[in-house]
Structure 1
């Protein structure tokens, strides 16, 4: 598959990428446009920016759906701009450096030296505009809503709603064609967060990876996310073994095992029982019962 545009609504596009089967986004207003995620490296970001300039020459702002590397390492290609996210810049810098070391090493182990070089040389651009709750962003004749969600897929998920076009950019809260990633997720809270998110029944839902879908596809995936949460809970309560839960998970054994491991990581251990005082072995005092024998003279 080569990189390509899909126009999902009027002046709303999804950019499908071959690398990681990723899906980026673009929403165009009358005055500016919003770029949704930027790819895995500065080179990937430059290719995305070039493709955007084939559609519009308006100034842009950038939105990060969450802090995983493939969604924001390409932002240096977009120059100076407003960058919106839920987590703050310090978090992005710290976590970004950790991810870069990990993924550069992985690409080199896989023999992908050029991709490792590109990622290692990319300047990371942390967000400079914080989203807490929801922010309405006026693009000129069109308002998009940047909405904080979760914890769910991560602890800093954000979606982009385009109400006038009926489009929801869901980031990695939803994925098409591959199982969702639970490595840093919150398995119990995730389905509840997305269920609430779909309350306005968006006709078009754009996932972070894979092809755009509709509301009913998204609802079906929420049911699968809820089943993962239920299996985690049943394994925790001893109703199922972890092997049984893994074998019957909706996304396959490997994903289910990752979800269980993540749930256990998030669950605090049971507190140690408090030491009990030694029982008092002093014999009880004798109980004395008094028996009174008396008569009352009732004569006048």
Structure 2
């Protein structure tokens, strides 16, 4: 698959990439453009920025849907700009350095030396604008909403809503063509948050990976996320065995097992019952004390 644009609504585009089957985003108003995620490396970012300039010459701002490397390592290509995210910059850099080392090693093991070089040479650009709750960005005649999600696919997920076009950029909260990743995720909260995010019934939902879909496609995946969360809880309570859950999970055995393992990581073991309090050894009963009654009446007459 060659990299390509899909115009999902008026002045709203999804950029489909061959690398990791990823989907980036672009929204334009009359005065500004919002770039949604930037790709796996500086080189990928430059390719994305060049493609954007074929559509618009407006100044841009950048939004990160979360801090996994493939969503923000390309920002070096976008120069000095506002970069919006839920996570703070220090956390982004610390996690980014770990991911860069890990993925460079992965690419080398797979024989992709050039990919390893590119990701190793990428300068990380942390966010400089913090999103807490929700933020409305005026792009000129159009307002987009950056919305903090809470614990879900990661601990810093953010979605981008384009209300006037009925479009939701969901990041990796939703994926098309592949099962969601539960590594570092929060299985119970994830399902709950996606259900809430779909409550305004967006017409088009753009996933972090795969083709854009409609509301009913997203609703179907939300149902599968909820079923996975329910299975995690039933395994924890002993209602079903892990083997039964893995065999019947909606995303397949490997993903269901990963969700259950992650649920166990997040759930502390039950506290050990406190030992019974020490008691003194039994002995003879205490003696019974009998008090005599004395007559203290005194004759006080002279």
Structure-2 separation of matches of 1:85 and 1:271: 37
* Structure 2 residue aligned with 1:166: 166
* Structure 1 residue aligned with 2:129: 129
Distance of aligned partners of 1:283 and 1:147 in 2 relative to their CA distance in 1, 3 Å threshold: same
Q: How does 1:18-37 map to 2 (within 5 A)?
A: 18-37=18-37
Is 1:12–2:24 an aligned residue pair? no
Is 1:153–2:147 an aligned residue pair? no
Structure of greater Rg: 2
* Cα displacement (A) at 1:278: 2.4
Deviations 1:237-282 (A, max 9, x none): 1122212111111001110111111111111122222222124443
* Structure 2 residue aligned with 1:294: none
Structure-1 separation of matches of 2:285 and 2:216: 75
* Cα displacement (A) at 1:283: 5.5
* Structure 1 residue aligned with 2:83: 83
- Secondary structure at 2:168 match in 1: strand
Structure-1 separation of matches of 2:287 and 2:167: 81
Deviations 1:181-225 (A, max 9, x none): 000110011110010111100000000000000111111101000
* Structure 1 residue aligned with 2:300: none
- Secondary structure at 1:65 match in 2: coil
Structure-1 separation of matches of 2:219 and 2:285: 70
Scaled by the length of structure 2, what TM-score is found? 0.93
**Which runs of 5 or more residues in structure 2 are unaligned?**
289-302
Distance of aligned partners of 1:287 and 1:188 in 2 relative to their CA distance in 1, 3 Å threshold: farther
- Secondary structure at 1:153 match in 2: coil
Deviations 1:125-170 (A, max 9, x none): 0000000000000000000000000200000000000000000000
Structure-1 separation of matches of 2:86 and 2:272: 36
- Secondary structure at 2:206 match in 1: strand
Distance of aligned partners of 1:287 and 1:228 in 2 relative to their CA distance in 1, 3 Å threshold: farther
* Structure 2 residue aligned with 1:113: 113
Scaled by the length of structure 1, what TM-score is found? 0.94
* Structure 1 residue aligned with 2:56: 56
* Structure 2 residue aligned with 1:265: 265
* Structure 2 residue aligned with 1:240: 240
Q: Count the aligned residue pairs.
A: 288
Distance of aligned partners of 1:287 and 1:161 in 2 relative to their CA distance in 1, 3 Å threshold: farther
Structure-1 separation of matches of 2:261 and 2:252: 14
Q: Quick check: 144-153 or 239-248, which moved more? A: 239-248
Distance of aligned partners of 1:174 and 1:286 in 2 relative to their CA distance in 1, 3 Å threshold: same
The runs of 4+ residues in structure 1 deviating greater than 4 Å are: 283-288
Q: How does 1:152-231 map to 2 (within 5 A)?
A: 152-231=152-231
- RMSD, aligned CA: 1.3
* Structure 2 residue aligned with 1:295: none
